[in-house]
A and B are shown apart, each in its own frame.
Chain A
Amino acid sequence: MYFLKRLALMLPLLLFISFLAFVLVRVAPGGPFDKEHRPASPEIQRNIEAKYHLDEPIWKQYLRYLADLANGDFGPSLKYRNHSVNDIIRQGLPVSLTLGFLAFCFAQGIGIPLGFFTAARRGKWGDYAGSFLAILFICVPGFVVGPLLIMTFAIHWHLFPAALWETPWHAVLPTIALGIYFAGKIARLMREGMIGTMHEGFITTARAKGLSENAILLRHAFRLAVLPVVSYSGPLLADLLTGSFVVENIFQIPGIGVFLVNSSLNRDYTMVVGLVLLYAALLLIMNLLVDVSYSLLDRRVQY
């Protein structure tokens, strides 16, 4: 019931977000045509603005935008005027989705085992080494990792291509650059969760029953300890799937992360609102999934 309510709330929430994004970008000073190469004469400027209805009151612009949106049309891009926002999303989204999902899997695949391992080996060498690794990961941003990976593996050793997005080989370096930071975050959340959980009463009970340490760790502690990771994974996935400016920029990958930043800088509002809506819808769904899995993993949590 609670989740149905949340689901029903999503549409008005998305409407509200689109409104907020629209107003945010439209009300802020500066228009999409301010940075054109040749300053247009006032008449031309007025004509362009009239063509895209920028001369109308904002509420009218917004309603017009919504009407188009209802037909699945995100409108024309005001900066890349040969393309519609739909075109750009259609081309860029699959790339960003693939890269983001790969990075997500990479982060979870490294982070969860690393966090689990360090918690299980608590206070021993494995813990120190693993925890150091996890800390190192969150301290070495994609910003640094990307260029370093390119310098060593692409330019120096010629093992992987340095940029672009063609063969699966092209995905290796960007995936690492994008995912490694989050792998460290997940490992730390996982370790923290495990260590907290090991003090719970039901773990003592499990021990008293004579269960093996492995069974306790894997079947009893893990379920509760993974909650912070689950909670973190929702926004993380939404974030990763909608592209990363830094990684796409460094590796010259044609995703939508680059467009989001550029269109906000250019006040290309149809593009901003379109991409924001995409991100918001993804995020709301992810958060809902997180809360659903919360109540599945920990029955004490009630909504």
Chain B
Amino acid sequence: MEATESVPSPLISSSRPHLSPNQRAWQRFKRNRPAMISVWFLLVLLTLIFLWPLLSPYRPDTLSDAQFQVPSLQHWCGTDVHGRDLLARLMSGARISLLVGAVGAGVSLIIGVAWGAIAGYVGGRLDDAMMRVVDVLYSLPSIVFVIVLITTLEDLVKRIVPKGFLTDTGLSVRLVLLFVGLGAISWLTMARIVRGQVLSLRTRNFVDASRALGASHARILWHHILPNIYGIIIVYLTLTVPAVMLYESFLSYLGLGIQPPMASWGSLIAEGAGELNPIRIYWWLIVFPGAALVTALLALNFIGDGLRDAFDPRSAV
């Protein structure tokens, strides 16, 4: 099959002898067209997001009488129920959405991988105990946990922080609470998956071999087992970013995430879905935020796939 077919091996084609494995991986990554297009796309998107307030005649929170305008030359993406320019709102929502995704993935990477790898590698009692913790957190439906966590913390903050102070910082407090809530649940699946992989890898011969050669546990785990699951970790990480971004949208939909007039892509989609009625179709209120979310997530996924192929030449197409 393809594994034996002679796709020019990335190892040979870039075998300038002085390149480190990481440099070679980077070379391979640069040859991955969908991934590079996605990188450029995200860079352009990021630039646009930050320049938009200067470029656009509309501010994301300016109300007007032009409600529910169909996309036109004045309003490229139309306007919403309060006559706000949708494109301007999309651009300001992008910051929140991307930030939330990055934070969630970071937590999942650091806590999830460490937790799963240690549990799977050590095994026995510790594995049991650590995975039961994950099980328990898993078995509480995450939404209950997050709702109670966020509302409780919010009450606490409200009590501690004096009232007048809150109007300014209230919005960013919400954002921090959102991070805490999403961070608390985003690492669980990663831990389970890593643990399952490590569990089946640690019985392999090459692990026994390096143990026989006197390698320390840390070395075995870090140098022999984890490199074998980079692929799955990276793929799962790219799956975590969209998942976290979606979760944020869900929470915003419930009124626990981003509060109006602030917006994220998720809350914009939720607003659009709220305007759904059998008489008039305001398609742009769903299609544009949806398209923004989908293209950003697509780009992130292509980058993840490209990274995987680059760091794990065995699986490179």
- Tell me, yes or no, whether A7 is within 8 Å of chain B by CB: no
The answer to whether A242 touches B315 (Cβ under 8 A) is no
Query: How far apart sit A143 and B232, CA to CA, in the bound complex (Å)?
Result: 27
CB distance from B76 to the nearest CB of A (A): 20
Chain B residues within 8 Å of A17, by CB: 136, 139-140
Cβ of A147: which chain B residues have Cβ within 8 Å of it?
272-273, 276, 286
Spot the interface stretch: A90-98, A148-156, A168-176: A148-156
* Residues of A contacting B231 in the complex (Cβ-Cβ under 8 angstroms): 192, 196
The reply to whether A30 and B286 form a contact with Cβ atoms under 8 Å apart is no
Contacts of A215 in B (CB 8 A): none
- A143 to B278, Cβ gap below 8 A? no
Cβ contacts under 8 Å, B266 to chain A: 143
CB of A29 within 8 A of CB of B140, answer no
Assembly CA distance A148 to B294 (angstroms): 13
Q: Which of B139, B147, B203, B235 contacts A192 (CB 8 A)?
A: B235
Contact A143 B269 (CB under 8 A): yes
B222 at the interface (CB under 8 A from A): no
Q: How far is the CA of A140 from the CA of B289 in the complex (A)?
A: 11
Given A144-B293, A151-B276, decide whether A123 and B196 contact each other with a Cβ distance below 8 A.
no
Q: Which residues of A contact B196 (CB under 8 A)?
A: 227-228, 231, 294
B199 contacts A301, CB within 8 Å?
yes
CA distance A227 to B200 in the complex (A): 11
A123 to B2, CA, bound (A): 8
Contact assessment for B189 and A24 in the assembled complex, using a CB-CB cutoff below 8 Å: no
Q: Which residues of A contact B147 (CB under 8 A)?
A: 261, 264-265
Q: Give the residue of B3, B145, B305 whose beta carbon is less than 8 angstroms from that of A198.
A: B3
CA separation between A192 and B314, bound complex, in Å? Answer: 12
B143 touches which of A138, A213, A245 (Cβ 8 Å):
A245
Residue of B whose beta carbon sits closest to that of A120: B1
Q: Which of B19-27, B104-112, B242-250 contacts A (4 or more CB under 8 A)?
A: B242-250
Residue B50 is within 8 A (CB to CB) of chain A in the complex:
no
Taking CB atoms and an 8 Å cut-off, the chain B residues in 253-301 that contact chain A are 253-254, 266, 269-270, 272-273, 276, 278, 281, 283, 286-287, 290, 293-294, 297-298, 301
Which A residue sits closest to B295, measured CB to CB? Answer: A139
Looking at the assembled complex, report how far the CB atom of B40 sits from the nearest CB atom of chain A, in whole angstroms: 18
Expressed in whole angstroms, the Cα–Cα distance for A188 and B237 within the complex equals 13
B95-103, B148-156, B207-215 - the one binding chain A = B148-156
Q: How near does chain A come to B317, taking the closest CB pair, in angstroms?
A: 5
* Chain A interface size, under 10 / 10 to 19 / 20 to 34 / 35 or more: 35 or more
Q: A302 at interface (Cβ–Cβ under 8 A)?
A: yes
Q: Which residues of B contact A54 (CB under 8 A)?
A: none
- Given A144-B286, A228-B193, A20-B136 contact (CB < 8 Å): yes
Of the candidates A120, A155, A260, the one whose C-beta lies within 8 Å of that of B141 is A260
> Would you give the shortest CB distance from A11 to chain B, in whole angstroms?
13
A302 nearest in chain B by CB position:
B203
Q: How far in angstroms is the closest Cβ of chain B from A289?
A: 14
With a cutoff of 8 Å between Cβ atoms, the chain B residues found around residue A139 in the complex are 242, 293-294, 297-298, 301
Known A147-B286, A148-B286, A195-B315; judge A21-B200 contact (CB<8 A): no
Q: A67 within 8 Å of B by Cβ?
A: no
B138 in contact with A283 (CB, 8 Å): yes
Given known pairs A139-B298, A228-B232, A301-B200, the reply for A28 and B151 (CB within 8 Å) is yes
Most B Cβ at <10 Å: residue of A17, A135, A242: A135
Nearest chain-A residue to B146 (Cβ)? A264
* Chain B nearest CB, measured from A145 CB (Å): 9
Interface stretch among A45-53, A103-111, A272-280? A272-280
Using A246-B250, A265-B254 as known contacts, list a sample of 7 further A-B pairs with CB atoms less than 8 Å apart, ordered by residue number in A: A25-B144, A139-B301, A140-B294, A143-B270, A279-B141, A283-B135, A300-B203
Where the two chains meet, the residues of A that have a C-beta atom closer than 8 Å to any C-beta of B are 9, 13, 16-17, 20-21, 24-25, 28-30, 120, 122-123, 127, 131, 135-136, 138-141, 143-144, 146-148, 150-151, 155-156, 162, 185, 188, 192, 195-196, 198-199, 213, 216-217, 227-228, 231-232, 235, 242, 245-246, 250, 260-261, 264-265, 272, 275-276, 279-280, 283-284, 287, 294, 298, 300-302
Query: Which residues on B are within 8 Å of A, measured CB to CB?
Result: 1-3, 5, 7, 132, 135-136, 138-141, 143-145, 147-148, 151-152, 155-156, 189, 192-193, 196, 199-200, 203, 231-232, 235, 239, 242, 246, 249-250, 253-254, 266, 269-270, 272-273, 276, 278, 281, 283, 286-287, 290, 293-294, 297-298, 301-302, 305, 314-315, 317
The 6 closest A-B pairs by CB, nearest first: A280-B139, A139-B297, A144-B290, A28-B152, A264-B147, A122-B2
Q: Offer 14 A-B interface pairs, CB within 8 angstroms, sorted by A.
A: A127-B317, A139-B293, A143-B270, A147-B286, A151-B286, A162-B278, A185-B239, A196-B231, A198-B3, A235-B189, A261-B147, A264-B144, A276-B141, A284-B135
